[in-house]
Structure formats: structure tokens, C-alpha cells
């Protein structure tokens, strides 16, 4: 999917446009099209969110910001263990 398509999809997710089943399908589709392992969760929770210590009151990213964050995710690749 293109960035623009992901933004449209993200807006539908955030605005709850559809039934619960349809929204879950949209979330799955979003997650399958971005490298971030928790892509759609970023609409509602910041990266590395900790419910015990973090406050969600100030978390209000735009859909575009979430899409960009999810698309620009680069996983940490660890080297294989050395053989002895």
C-alpha cells in the first residue's frame, strides 16, 4: 500500500468507520503493510508505552505522523552468535 492509502486506512481506523469486525480487518491490513511490529497500536498508544508509568493525556498524534513512524521503522538486527 502507498503512504496515502495507509493514511486513508488509518483515518478509518481512528474514526471507527465500520463494525468491530471491519475495524479489526482494517487493523490487520494496516499491520501487514508496515514494517513496525505494532503499527496500528501507535494510533492509540505511544511506542514503548508503559501503562504503569506513562500518561496518555498528551498523546494525540496525527494519522500522518503514525503512518510515517510505522513506515520508517527499522528493526534492530542482532548479529548471529559467534561459534566457539
Per-residue pLDDT reduced to its tens digit, 18-72: 999 999 999 999 999 999 999 999 999 988 888 888 888 888 899 999 999 999 9
pTM, two decimals, is: 0.84
| Residue 38 included in any domain | yes
Domain annotation covers residue 17: yes
The answer to the question of residue 83 being in a domain is: no
76 falls within a domain = no
Question: Does residue 56 sit within a domain?
Answer: yes
Q: How far apart are CA 72 and CA 79, in angstroms?
A: 21
In a domain, 80, yes or no: no
Residue 7 has pLDDT above 80, yes or no: yes
Which pLDDT score, from 0 to 100, does residue 58 have? 84
How many domains does the structure of the chain reveal? 1
Residues 6+ apart with CB under 8 A from 81: none
Residue 81 included in any domain? no
Residue 84 has pLDDT above 80, yes or no: no
Domain of residue 33 covers 3-71
Amino acid at each position: 500500500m502507498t503512504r496515502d492509502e495507509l493514511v486513508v486506512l488509518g483515518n478509518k481506523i481512528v474514526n471507527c468507520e465500520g463494525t468491530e469486525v471491519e475495524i479489526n480487518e482494517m487493523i490487520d491490513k494496516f499491520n501487514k503493510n508496515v514494517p513496525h511490529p505494532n503499527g496500528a497500536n501507535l494510533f492509540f498508544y505511544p511506542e514503548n508505552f508503559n501503562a504503569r508509568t506513562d500518561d496518555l493525556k498528551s498523546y494525540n498524534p496525527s494519522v500522518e505522523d503514525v503512518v510515517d513512524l510505522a513506515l520508517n521503522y527499522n528493526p534492530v538486527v542482532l548479529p548471529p552468535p559467534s561459534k566457539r
